[in-house]
Structure 1
Amino acid sequence: MILLEPGSLAPVDVADEVIAELEHSDADVHWITHEYLRAQVEFSSPVLADADAADRVVREFRRAVAGAVARRGLLAASSGTAYGAGRSATGAGERYARFAQELGAIHPDHRIQGLHVHVAVWSREEGVAVMRALRPWLAPLLALTANSPCFGGIDTGFASWRTIVGRRFTTASVPPAFADAADYDRRVRALVGLGATLDRSSIFWMMRLAERYPTVELRVFDAQLTADETVGAALLARALVESAAAGDLPHAAAAAHAEHLDAAVWHAARHGLDDVLVDPVTASIAPARHVIERMLDAVRPALDASGDRDRVEALVARLRAEGNGAARQRAALAEGVPALERLLRTSFAPPAAA
């Protein structure tokens, strides 16, 4: 999430103050940490096994941050990019300083926020197999959850500008189709030291094996406007990983050509749900609604097993009717920056019901 100045919606470098306040408060937000920029706050949740627990911790974090930020006359926003122009200073630490130096003229655009979802796997071998199966599904996932249409004081015309910024890094977009865990580890080791890949933790593919945990980490998502969308994206990610691990995903013809997958991601970042998408099963162009329904069909057994089907289907139905985060931000901006500010503020932490 990013801390913004009301009116201009420009980033404000008060993350250190906010984190210090929360660390000494009664709020149960012990997983709050610093991020790359001093206007950003990261929340790394504990391990969560069910939707209710996820919903509870995400909302508690948002309420606590919203209060701390409001006491400074600012607002917090959960968006893949911020609307307002203006720079933010790099956070403390040698690693961040090295990263900023390596980025050069790219650095000022590195004001992006993502939702990273970790899903447990039994082994790294299973993780690599899951990654191979999920490669064609990254584009529809992005289209459904795109939430970064604005940057530098303008509407970029993209649903996920964060995705486009991310494509400038040394590693980006859809990961390769690795043969096995040894192949993954060998190729990742060869990348360390090249460009902005300072270490294994700075691999920026949309999906990777986590180095510290036995998980596949899906990094395709923009930061989500609301807690409901945050939790829903995580539940959908888990269902996809579990379906892939069980071999339940349909054969994906789209996986045959890496350039097709990469183009599908660019197209999803540009149009979100407002145009056609690449159908992973047929590799053909199809209406976005059809492709999203195809994805839901593929994971319904996993959603039924976890008890999350109604929740995920209700969220997807709402996104189809009201638009994803990008569409709602764009509609608000059409009314003016004050309307966009209201959307960001109320979406991050809605007022408590009377």
Structure 2
Amino acid sequence: MATFGMEEEYAILDPMTLAPRDEAPAVYRALRVERGESRNIQREFLLSQLERPTPVCETAEAALADLIGFRRRLRDAATSVGVIAASTGTYPLVANPIVLTDKSRYHRVLDEYRHVAKEYFYGGLHVHVGIDDRESGVRAMNALRVWMPVIAALAANSPLWKGEDTGFSSYRIIQLQRWATRGTPPAFVDADDYDRRSARIVGVGGTFDDALIAWNIRLSRKFPTIEVRVGDAQLEAWHSVLVALLIRALVSTALAEEKPADPLHPELIDSALWLAARDGISHRLVHPFTGELEVSRTVVDALLQHTAAALAAEGDAERVTEWIDRLFAEGTGADRQRAAYSAGGLPALAALMRGALAPE
């Protein structure tokens, strides 16, 4: 059974207006001092952001318990500071001027990316899956490329930007295309090819180090993992775990295959990702095996069929099927944010974000 872990990014917001509040250091101190939280919590690019990695997990139960426990502690710490913590792909409102965490690297990012970096009000869900070696990681990367639009659609949770409904389900994906290295990576021959081509990018434009090679799939620089970064931060913990379980199953399936399916052309993957970012699971998606447009539920069912053996072996099949059914019944995070905002404006959206972070 492959291990996995998640990194969740949280926005620190005003409880009334949902504007960014530069109180991440105060929330961090409340978590550390009052809640006994681990040293793993990371201060992010903005003073209104926190990131927290889970421990390495083997089971859905362990991952879900960890996320729920931390989110409750985060909720209480934020409340003690007079803010709310929200798990969302985009902030509903942005700040001008931007207020950075005071690190030299972050200041260089701002210097290199200029206005693009001034709009970095995003939160992602980054999923790591353990691999035996880098060659296995490249094999998995190549196979996962065609599935990134489907994962993006299921994980869409960023419909709002600057106080407006963008009409997109994952506006975060659209915005991040402005960065120097984003989107789905090319196919690689092997690990040496991955390393060689990655090294050529460093130093070009804003990519001043390898951490800024922010493809939707990449090999971790620190851990023996493949990292998938396409998903928005999720409203609820169960949704984050669902995304992680699907990605783990895709990696396991890829490494068990003797011969992967013929890949889609990169331009079709890019177009499929754009469509997924716009519509989520509400209409149609590109089928990874045929390249044809199909009803989104049909394409998601193809994902479940493709990974059925891995999901069964990992004990996740029943849970994942139940959660997928729930997702299509209730909607993605984007659907729920849009509905709340349409029905009751910022107060209703704030209530959704506060309640979804750690439901009782």
Which TM class, normalised by the smaller chain length?
over 0.9
Q: How does 1:28-47 map to 2 (within 5 A)?
A: 28-47=37-56
Task: Tell me how far apart the structure 1 counterparts of residues 110 and 163 of structure 2 sit (CA, whole Å).
Answer: 23
Which of residues 144, 152, 166 is equivalent to 2:176?
166
Which of residues 335, 357, 360 is equivalent to 1:348?
357
Task: Tell me how far apart the structure 2 counterparts of residues 291 and 250 of structure 1 sit (CA, whole Å).
Answer: 18
- Residue in 2 that maps onto 1:9: 18
- In structure 2, do the counterparts of structure 1 residues 249 and 18 end up closer, same or farther at CA, with 3 Å as the change threshold? farther
**What secondary structure is seen at the aligned counterpart in 1 of 2:231?**
strand
- Residue in 2 that maps onto 1:191: 201
Q: How does 1:108-147 map to 2 (within 5 A)?
A: 108-147=118-157
- Residue in 2 that maps onto 1:311: 319
Deviations 1:168-226 (A, max 9, x none): 11111110011110110001001111122121111111000001111100001100000
Question: Cα RMSD (Å) of the superposition?
Answer: 1.3
Which of residues 209, 225, 245 is equivalent to 2:219?
209
- In structure 2, do the counterparts of structure 1 residues 7 and 21 end up closer, same or farther at CA, with 3 Å as the change threshold? closer
TM-score (norm 2): 0.94
- Residue in 1 that maps onto 2:307: 299
Q: How does 1:224-239 map to 2 (within 5 A)?
A: 224-239=234-249
- C-alpha displacement at 1:55, in angstroms? 1.1
Deviations 1:234-272 (A, max 9, x none): 1111111111111179625xx231101001001100110
CA contact (8 A) 1:145 1:233 kept: yes
Task: Tell me how far apart the structure 2 counterparts of residues 85 and 14 of structure 1 sit (CA, whole Å).
Answer: 15
- C-alpha displacement at 1:26, in angstroms? 3.9
1:83 pairs with 2:92: yes
Poorly superposed stretches of 4+, deviation over 4 Å? none
Which of residues 250, 254, 277 is equivalent to 2:285?
277
Q: Which amino acid counterpart does residue 217 of structure 1 have in structure 2?
A: E
Task: Tell me how far apart the structure 1 counterparts of residues 354 and 38 of structure 2 sit (CA, whole Å).
Answer: 20
- Residue in 1 that maps onto 2:273: 265
The runs of 5 or more residues in structure 2 that have no matched partner are 1-9
Task: Tell me how far apart the structure 2 counterparts of residues 157 and 249 of structure 1 sit (CA, whole Å).
Answer: 39
- In structure 2, do the counterparts of structure 1 residues 150 and 196 end up closer, same or farther at CA, with 3 Å as the change threshold? same
Which of residues 331, 338, 342 is equivalent to 1:334?
342
- C-alpha displacement at 1:25, in angstroms? 2.8
The runs of 5 or more residues in structure 1 that have no matched partner are none
- In structure 2, do the counterparts of structure 1 residues 71 and 26 end up closer, same or farther at CA, with 3 Å as the change threshold? closer
**What secondary structure is seen at the aligned counterpart in 1 of 2:135?**
helix
- C-alpha displacement at 1:73, in angstroms? 2.0
The alignment covers a number of residue pairs equal to: 349
Task: Tell me how far apart the structure 2 counterparts of residues 26 and 84 of structure 1 sit (CA, whole Å).
Answer: 29
Deviations 1:28-72 (A, max 9, x none): 443211111110000011211111111121112111111111112
Counting aligned pairs with the same residue, the percent is 42
**What secondary structure is seen at the aligned counterpart in 2 of 1:71?**
helix
Task: Tell me how far apart the structure 1 counterparts of residues 53 and 135 of structure 2 sit (CA, whole Å).
Answer: 25
CA contact (8 A) 1:133 1:249 kept: no
CA contact (8 A) 2:94 2:119 kept: no
Task: Tell me how far apart the structure 1 counterparts of residues 246 and 228 of structure 2 sit (CA, whole Å).
Answer: 11
